[in-house]
Amino acid sequence: MKQFNVPIIYRSPLIAAIKNKRKQQDKMKKDFSPALLDFGPLQIYLARHFGFCYGVENAIDIAFRTIDKNPGKRIFLLSEMIHNPQVNADLQQRGVQFLQDTNGNQIVPFETLSKEDVVIIPAFGTTLAIEEKLNTIGIATAKYNTTCPFVEKVWNRSEQIATKKYSVIVHGKPTHEETRATFSHAASNAPTLVVNDMAETILLSKYITGEKEWSQFYTEFAGRFSEGFDVKEDLQRIGVVNQTTMLASDTQAISDYLKQVMQHKYNLTETTIEERFADTRDTLCYATNDNQTAVYGLLQTTADLAIVVGGYNSSNTTHLVELCEATLPTYFINSEEKIISPTEVIHYNYHTKQDRTSTGFLPDKEPVKILLTSGASCPDAMVEGVINKLVSFFSSAHNMQSILKKFS
């Protein structure tokens, strides 16, 4: 796999040693059990897979090289490079400006740009309309495009099924940058609709079966369908693709459910189902699959609590939190600074979208067992920072060098 030049500030000697050791021991990536960092009174179980993925490293590499190669030029990011506050703050400190926020609201008007400016397309990609607008100004968007290749894979898949006259159902968060981009690309080739979850999928199925009046569709799915979408015609042949960072199990369940609906509606068998339902297979990226599967492996270990590190608006990180909190107390933090003391932590509640302060953070026992993972846009250095902070609370803990030696 291609190697990227990730700034040293994001690297961790400890995490690198652990990942390299696990990779040597498990080249085929079949072992999803965690790595044990045994500090004595503190035991940290580190997920098999976590942290920067291919697409994130690619985006960071391109962004920092772009800054270095364009001294004196105005450099803009279309929106957040990735959903990590540290990386975005680092880019802003180097003079990069955001054109839009994560919801697509304009911060810097496109009208103020010139062809001399540099605009970096983030890892999530962008809509065809925005790309055209920038190209019209004379900005070479292709030159500084960091769109993740696994996102582009979804776009290609939707185009493939569009040529076979299927409508495209996108499983994703409607306001997420990636979903907006995928919707735009899919809608340029086929009738397209976004569903957020199983509840919306079940609602949609009632229009497929005719249980609900077609006229209600346009109200209940307002803002979710492509221009000219005909609910009577465009739900007769469908295929499902997804935002790459959604829960794999959710996407699979939605796809299976809609497949069954089409089978019953049109009396199809497994050999004839493709008359109405496209075989899109799985369009989740490898990192999303690996990180989620690694959390399932992590949760096989009995522990006192779990910590998930990453940006609060990161979809893939939020899903890791969702998996962990179903089993044990889970704390979602974006840096080691959120761990105030052994008894206090400030963590994010993604359900209410608010910070929460919890007391009694670490149990008064030894050893304390903690499960630890991070999202695909979280630097390894940040994970090491969390480990160091936790270790600092235990005066009799083994030093970091003794742990590092075990993985050298």
Q: For the chain, what is the HEC assignment?
A: CCCCCCCHHHCCHHHHHHHHHHHHHCCCCCCCCCEEEECCCEEEEECCCCCCCHHHHHHHHHHHHHHHHCCCCCEEECCCCCCCHHHHHHHHHCCCEECECCCCCECCCHHHCCCCCEEEECCCCCCHHHHHHHHHHCCCHHHHECCCHHHHHHHHHHHHHHCCCCEEEEECCCCCHHHHHHHHHHHCCCCEEEECCHHHHHHHHHHHHCCCCHHHHHHHCCCCECCCCCCCCCCCCEEEEECCCCCHHHHHHHHHHHHHHHHHHHCCCCCCHHHCECCCCCCCCHHHHHHHHHHHHHCCCCCCEEEEECCCCCHHHHHHHHHHHCCCCEEEECCHHHEEECCEEEEEECCCCEEEEEECCCCCCCCEEEEEEECCCCCHHHHHHHHHHHHCCCCCCCCHHHHHHHCC
Rounded-to-integer distance, Cα 349 and Cα 333, Å = 10
Chain centroid to Cα 404, Å, comes to 29
Rounded-to-integer distance, Cα 148 and Cα 156, Å = 13
Strand order in the sheet with 344-349: 339-341, 344-349, 354-359
Catalytic residues: 178
- Nearest partner of 395 among 85, 146, 40, 158, judged by Cα: 40
